[in-house]
Amino acid sequence: MDMVARESREHGLKQVKAIRIQVGVLAAVVPEALHFCFDFASRETEAAGARLEIETVAAVARCPDCDLMFEVEDLIFLCPRCQAPTMELVSGRELVLVSLEGDEKGDDDGGSQGGSQHSGSQ
């Protein structure tokens, strides 16, 4: 929520309508729990009532022997091509704020459906 507040201030958003994040499957984050906690954490902030959109990012590893990039399944870090063990993780541990969507300060409130979308940061 600190990052959302900082980004919304930086981009002049008075009300955040949607928050898009990426969560890696190995990030130890349960999307349902994140939604539940978000409802409480966003109360009385510029993100109150915002839609939280979560994109799950697969675990991808790179084989140090044959350079193959492959999706890790069942936490088995063996290259499917050469069977070399690998722990070189390319993705899967992310927890990234991708973008915010909302109304900018100064937008008229006369029923406008307009708004802005801004990319976030990690």
- Whole-angstrom distance, CA of residue 23 vs CA of residue 4: 16
Domain-by-domain residue ranges, the chain? 2-101
Burial track 53-84 (b if 16+ CB lie within 10 A, e otherwise): ebeebebebebeeeeeebebeeeeeebeeeee
Over range 96-122, report the average pLDDT.
Answer: 64
Over range 112-121, report the average pLDDT.
Answer: 46
54 pLDDT higher than 90 = yes
Integer distance in angstroms from the first to the last C-alpha of the chain?
13
Rounded to two decimals, the pTM is: 0.76
| Phi, psi dihedrals of residue 36, rounded to the nearest 5° | -60, -50
Over range 8-27, report the average pLDDT.
Answer: 94
Convert the pLDDT of each residue in 18-45 to its tens digit. Answer: 999 999 999 999 989 999 999 999 999 9
CATH 3.30.2320.80 fits 2-101, yes or no: yes
